[in-house]
Structure 1
Amino acid sequence: MEKKSYKIHIIGAGVSGLIAAKVLEDNGYHPIIIEASNRVGGRVKTDVIDGYQLDHGFQVLLDAYPQAQKYLDFNALELQKFVPGATIFTDGKRSTIGDPLRDWSLLFSTLSSSIGTIGDKLKILKLNSTLKKTSIETIFSSPETTTLSYLESKGFSKDIINKFYKPFFAGIFLEPQLNTSSRMFKFVYKMFGEGHAVLPKAGIEAIPRYLQKQLKHTSFRFNTKVTAVNDDHLVLENGDKIRTHFSIIATEASHLIPNLKQTTKWKSCDNLYFTMETRAIDKPIIGLISNRNTLINNLFFHSSLNTASETKRELLSVTIVKNHNLDEKRLIENVQIELEKLCGISNTHFLKRYQITKALPELNNLQYDCSPTETQLKPTIFLAGDQQLNGSLNAAMLSGQRAAEGLILALEDGLRVEELTSEYL
């Protein structure tokens, strides 16, 4: 049987599924992607509402990610850089700190900031230097503890942990106590130190859209929900069955495979968008709220970056990672009160709320990579998705690559191919 004649189905058109399709195409196969929604992207989506680009949750790409450098064309995406630092709001006062080695304009504000001691700032520089010299493989083979315990072991003061590290990394890890694995912290810290946080000019969804455009021999079935994946067929929500030789599940698999013990817990967040006449932070730098009992964790003025959609008013994104029981009306009111009281941001007009229940996988024993054979769940079924490794776009890409490579290895096994071809002829 010719390679292009094999029925290879990928369930999920997120980043993992798109990368899996790319690897299969590069090796001569013509996969089929089945997606429950109406477009590619999975959790990486951007809506345009009233002319404003609204990402589903505050998401950034770290341009130092090895897989991003491998699979993405940064020029085509027109990546817009963030300033490598943060503006921190504490009890109505603000200060800005950052990495002066990458942006000299941050030197004076960082040294003069009341956030942390001089010793803390020297420890930050030392940590930057140490992690730059540490390989990714070493990071992910190191003993695993919580991020908070790791920072305490490095001698950072409670002041800089509570006012900078907690709000900054809570916005990345989507949990406020820094219980996330120290491996993830060191990996992300290393990536920040080696590059920049960036956003495509057209929003975060430009990434999966770019990947989709690279696919020349992959067919798509949108608005099609798979309810079960079996060895030789898929079951759709409408009861139809699709015959298949191989399947890659590039989404959560627990509800698709009978008796699958592997289940994923998820972190959630709220993302609210507001418009206003003027922005409180001129530079494209993240804003953090360091007060412990506030709803808001971080904020960002998307209009401080160049965007594909031009609007007259400023656009503000607010992220909440703490659990709450507020209905939408009360949530908006409380957020607006905090913005005015703590940040001096007033006259905001609510635009859109994204309540994201599956924002990041909650994982232990994080891995950077795996062998292609480790992605094989059954002889004809393979798993992909960042939940297989760690919660990052880099992991989503790498897991998709490994699942496709695992499938190709299975197909190149002569006995396996003979059994499949005789079965489906």
Structure 2
Amino acid sequence: MTGLPDAVDVVVVGAGLAGLRAAQTVARAGRSVVVCEAGDGVGGRVRTDVVDGFLVDRGFQILNTSYPALRAAVDLDALDLRRFVPGAAVRDADGRLHRLADPRRVPTWAPRTALDALLGPGDKARIGAVTLRSLLVPPSRQAQAAERSTADELARWGLGGTPTDTFLRPFLAGVLGDRDLETSSRVFSLFWRSFALGDLTLPSRGIGAVPAQLAARLPAGTVHLDTPAEQVTPGVVRTPRGAVRAGAVIVATEGPSASALLAGRVPPPRSFALTTRYHVVTEPPTRQALLHLDGAGGPVVNTVVLTAAAPSYSPDHRHLVASTVLGVEPLPEPELRGELARIWGTPVGAWDELATVRIPHALPAAVPPTPAGLRRPVDVGDGLFVAGDHRDTPSTQGALVSGRRTAQEALRHLASGVASRA
């Protein structure tokens, strides 16, 4: 590992998506940049570990190909994306399984979805109307629309009660980390648009392939692993491996960590926690790459056979199932197995537990009131900047957009400094 430089134009703290995108933007502008990452690899919450040969993402994640910032930052073809069915299977309170898919995207499922009794014809029409609105209204207008909670927004469309409790709540709880659907209607509208437009995928080598590609495109020696920032002050980042002086410092860490490093210049944002349990199975409960939801309101927000979409997640013929609950405390294994047996409709006693992944700050809580445009300030003064999905939307899109726009603000700061010295 090369040593830290004494001085650069920009120091980025954190090698998650926002930090790597910020470093990429600075480097492309011809400025020198170094990234200090506390962990032993890039990606932050978007990482993939290898456990007994299986690919284990840092929690269940899906890559939505509709995100403009994603398409601008990485080569999607090089990720070898594997697709999920754009829909869900829902186990209702009476034990019936309902399989639903977007009829625009999967025409062969249209008759089944139209006739399925989980939602009535009126509910399906209203969901279609919400989808049509999300597609027709420009994202810039959606981000500034009148704001309410997602629960209130769904009720306004006539989708409160059964449609929300049996389908929309379990689906959105896994996406937003928010079972109560307090999330801003602005964020919900943009998310719903992304689901209507994009493919739901995973890179064949795990979600960590995304930050790995971003890091590989940086100049050699840019990223320094196992190099935590111990102190951030204007113009200096101090680490156990030495201090680096810089014209601008970008802190691109989780919200609570960013607040601490910046000595309270940014208040610690509220966040939602998720815990994902991974099981190895010889015979999968399904061979469809379809998200399974609990329409009865149980603790498991979603469960899916990852290898149905991406067989490369397994080193052999066995399959990998990921099941997610809200919070950082996993369900006791007997209780979890009982829930999974009910949702999947099959015995799970022979499933082998592989790993438990707790993400305390999995998703920032984007609850009202949010700023118009859903963008929070990134310049905190004195050449210090903050990036992350807690400054934009809680998503891959938000992290990448935040990294780019924060780097642009830092570059403007550097340019103004050069101009003032000339």
Q: In 2, distance between residues paired with 1:60 and 1:417? A: 46
Contact 1:44–1:204 (Cα < 8 Å) also in 2: yes
1:30 Cα shift? 2.1
Contact 1:227–1:255 (Cα < 8 Å) also in 2: no
Partner of 1:77: 79
> How many residues of Structure 1 are paired with residues of Structure 2 in the alignment?
408
Residue number among 289, 292, 296 corresponding to 1:287 in the alignment: 292
1:71-99 Cα offsets, whole Å, 9 max, x none, are 12111011111111000012432011121
Partner of 1:299: 303
1:196 Cα shift? 1.5
**Paired residue type of 1:305:** A
Secondary structure of residue in 2 paired with 1:389: coil
Secondary structure of residue in 1 paired with 2:125: helix
Partner of 1:382: 385
**Paired residue type of 2:262:** I
Partner of 2:280: 275
Give runs of aligned pairs for residues 17-416 of structure 1, distance below 5 A. 17-91=19-93, 92-216=95-219, 219-236=222-239, 238=240, 240-251=242-253, 252=255, 253-292=258-297, 294-309=298-313, 310-321=315-326, 331-345=332-346, 346=348, 347-364=350-367, 365=370, 368=373, 370=375, 374-413=377-416
1:247-271 Cα offsets, whole Å, 9 max, x none, are 1111132111224252122210110
TM-score w.r.t. length of structure 2:
0.92
**Paired residue type of 2:356:** R
Secondary structure of residue in 1 paired with 2:312: coil
Judge which range, 137-146 or 105-114, deviates more.
105-114
Q: In 2, distance between residues paired with 1:416 and 1:331? A: 61
1:305 Cα shift? 1.4
1:157 Cα shift? 4.9
How has the CA–CA distance of structure 1 residues 244 and 40 changed in structure 2, closer, same or farther, with 3 Å as cutoff?
same
Q: In 1, distance between residues paired with 2:107 and 2:241? A: 61
Q: In 2, distance between residues paired with 1:178 and 1:98? A: 22
How has the CA–CA distance of structure 1 residues 343 and 17 changed in structure 2, closer, same or farther, with 3 Å as cutoff?
same
How has the CA–CA distance of structure 1 residues 24 and 240 changed in structure 2, closer, same or farther, with 3 Å as cutoff?
closer
Contact 2:8–2:244 (Cα < 8 Å) also in 1: no
1:192 Cα shift? 0.8
Judge which range, 394-403 or 277-286, deviates more.
277-286
1:198-227 Cα offsets, whole Å, 9 max, x none, are 111111111000111111255222111112
Contact 1:44–1:208 (Cα < 8 Å) also in 2: yes
Partner of 1:422: none
Secondary structure of residue in 2 paired with 1:41: coil
How has the CA–CA distance of structure 1 residues 181 and 30 changed in structure 2, closer, same or farther, with 3 Å as cutoff?
same
How has the CA–CA distance of structure 1 residues 333 and 22 changed in structure 2, closer, same or farther, with 3 Å as cutoff?
same
How has the CA–CA distance of structure 1 residues 255 and 29 changed in structure 2, closer, same or farther, with 3 Å as cutoff?
same
Judge which range, 182-191 or 251-260, deviates more.
251-260
Contact 1:270–1:355 (Cα < 8 Å) also in 2: yes
**Which runs of no fewer than 5 residues in structure 2 stay unpaired?**
1-5
Contact 1:30–1:217 (Cα < 8 Å) also in 2: no
How has the CA–CA distance of structure 1 residues 150 and 96 changed in structure 2, closer, same or farther, with 3 Å as cutoff?
same
1:31 Cα shift? 0.5
How has the CA–CA distance of structure 1 residues 414 and 354 changed in structure 2, closer, same or farther, with 3 Å as cutoff?
closer
Secondary structure of residue in 2 paired with 1:254: helix
* Alignment root-mean-square deviation, CA: 2.1
Q: In 1, distance between residues paired with 2:374 and 2:153? A: 22
**Which runs of no fewer than 5 residues in structure 1 stay unpaired?**
420-425
Q: In 2, distance between residues paired with 1:412 and 1:60? A: 38
How has the CA–CA distance of structure 1 residues 23 and 281 changed in structure 2, closer, same or farther, with 3 Å as cutoff?
same
How has the CA–CA distance of structure 1 residues 267 and 230 changed in structure 2, closer, same or farther, with 3 Å as cutoff?
same
Q: In 1, distance between residues paired with 2:42 and 2:309? A: 24
Q: In 2, distance between residues paired with 1:259 and 1:52? A: 40
How has the CA–CA distance of structure 1 residues 248 and 218 changed in structure 2, closer, same or farther, with 3 Å as cutoff?
farther
1:417 Cα shift? 5.9
Secondary structure of residue in 1 paired with 2:189: helix
Secondary structure of residue in 2 paired with 1:241: strand
Contact 1:228–1:255 (Cα < 8 Å) also in 2: no
TM-score w.r.t. length of structure 1:
0.91
Contact 2:278–2:355 (Cα < 8 Å) also in 1: yes
Judge which range, 26-35 or 219-228, deviates more.
219-228
How has the CA–CA distance of structure 1 residues 305 and 366 changed in structure 2, closer, same or farther, with 3 Å as cutoff?
farther
Judge which range, 296-305 or 212-221, deviates more.
212-221
1:301 Cα shift? 0.4
